Chains A and B, each alone.
Chain A
Amino acid sequence: MKLPPISYRRAGSADEAVALLAESGDDAAVLAGGQSLLLELRYGDVRRGVLVDLAGAADLAGLAVADGELRLGALVRHAAVERLELDDPLARLLRRAAAYVAHPPIRARGTFAGSLAWAHPAAEWCALARALDARMTVRGPAGEREVAAEDWFRGPHRTQRAPDEVLTAVTLPLLGAGAGVGFAELRRTSGSFALAAAGCAVHVAAGRVTRARIGLANAAGVPVRAAEAEAALVGSDGSPDAVRAAADAAAAAADPASEPHCSAEYRRHALGVLTARALTEALGEAA
């Protein structure tokens, strides 16, 4: 099974990638890790005649911390996130979630930002981006702009990125010392897509939850921020009863799809259970 005919253009910088996209119009796709794009081209679910490869764009390769934020350039691979060493609980959360992203050979090639651009409803990174108020930086013919995670996702595989724009970086705020983090996922086999997943970060002071951030994967066509669950938890003592109430609120916030191996009802139940597990893990390590 061959890929359909394509032409391949290698960009030497982000600006060159934008110029190449402008030349090719709607027939172009941006290639970074290619671990989703190339297989969808094989399936014929995505049809594009031109691939603009970012691999040569050294200005998109960086991973850096500045001003209390972690900035991941478009070429940062899942494997680099899996190995991230950083003096902030954010690194712990990203490392835990990375272990659920496909399997090692895919993580060696696929990129963090590519996952945000692909916007698969089951993607771990999309759920965390939503939970942690990530910002997406896109560059197009009109220049650069930033899009908040709450505005970024428009539907399955649909984002605010225009076809002539490149997602150049994703920025995540650090969580700060003392934050507890948790991640829990349900999948059919190791390496499968998430049937459902929950990621969270909590802050606790004087025995009370002061802040909670919860993101859900595959709870709807876009990643879900479980705001009601966060509200239910903040101000509580983080007891098992409080966790249960938050988990119920998260399940209620979901609008899950039904598929042969996972009915909507089952998925909603699983989202509640996973939220409780992630919160319990996070509360257990919050200082």
Chain B
Amino acid sequence: MDVRMTVNGQPRRVAVEARDSLADALRDGLGLTGTNLACEHGVCGSCTVSVDGEAVRSCLVLALQCEGSEVRTVEGLADGDRLSPLQEAFSAEHGLQCGFCTPGFLTLLQQALDDDPFLDRDEQKLTELLASNLCRCTGYVGIRRAVVRAARAGRGEPPAAD
């Protein structure tokens, strides 16, 4: 059967089985392999994407549950070859090392910044949000700095002085 979704702004129709997760549909059906699957039970956050304006685990959502939904994956962040401010900030602040968790963090944090451009001013809230996803390389320090940098850039403020 088919599921119709708007993926990164484009209307798409994907043939799926009922048991396919949204991640399966994105990766296997649409070739959007930027969304990584790792634990496949909601713990690690590698597969995070936005569905209708909320960051969710695409391994714990069936593709068929997304009929008519707006989906944004990591492929939807950059403008052609131009990285988004959040992606630039991840690069500038070394917010990644191996990079496997990065698509999940980028989609999680882009949604959070869309919802709250002042996210960086509530350190506790940011900590709780970052704890949603697992990164085993960075110790989260670079990722946290990247969010702060991106939030400041989004407000037209210069990067924070060290």
A42 adjacent to B41 (CB under 8 Å): yes
Say yes or no: B18 contacts A8, CB within 8 Å.
yes
B42 close to chain A: CB less than 8 A? yes
The reply to whether the CB of B129 lies closer than 8 angstroms to some CB of chain A is: yes
Tell whether A34 is near chain B: CB-to-CB under 8 Å.
yes
What is the bound-complex CA distance between A8 and B48, given in angstroms? 23
Within 8 A of A (CB), among B102-125: 108
A39 and B128 contacting across the interface, CB-CB below 8 Å: no
- A-chain residues with CB within 8 Å of residue B21 when the two chains form the complex: 3, 38
Q: Which 8 pairs between the two chains have the least Cβ-Cβ distance? A: A3-B19, A190-B131, A103-B132, A8-B18, A39-B41, A108-B54, A8-B64, A38-B60
A3 to B19, CA, bound (A): 6
Least CB distance, A120 to chain B, in whole angstroms: 14
- Contact B42 A35, beta carbon cutoff 8 Å: yes
Question: B residues near A, CB below 8 A?
Answer: 17-21, 24, 40-43, 45, 48, 54-57, 59-62, 64-65, 108, 128-129, 131-132
Q: Are B40 and A105 closer than 8 Å at their CB atoms?
A: no
Q: Which residues of B contact A31 (CB under 8 A)?
A: 62, 65
Can you list 24 residue pairs at the A/B interface with Cβ under 8 Å? A1-B40, A2-B24, A3-B21, A6-B18, A6-B19, A7-B18, A8-B62, A34-B61, A34-B62, A35-B60, A38-B61, A39-B42, A42-B40, A103-B132, A104-B128, A105-B56, A105-B57, A105-B108, A106-B42, A108-B54, A108-B56, A109-B57, A190-B131, A191-B132
Chain B residues with Cβ below 8 Å from A103 are 128, 131-132
Closest CB in chain B relative to A52 CB, distance in Å = 12
Measured CA separation A5–B55 after assembly (Å) = 26
Closest A residue, CB atoms, query B67: A10
| Contact B18 A190, beta carbon cutoff 8 Å | no
Partner of B19 from the list A4, A39, A106 (CB cut-off 8 Å) is A4
Contacts of A6 in B (CB 8 A): 18-19
B65 surroundings in chain A (CB, below 8 A): 31, 34, 53, 55
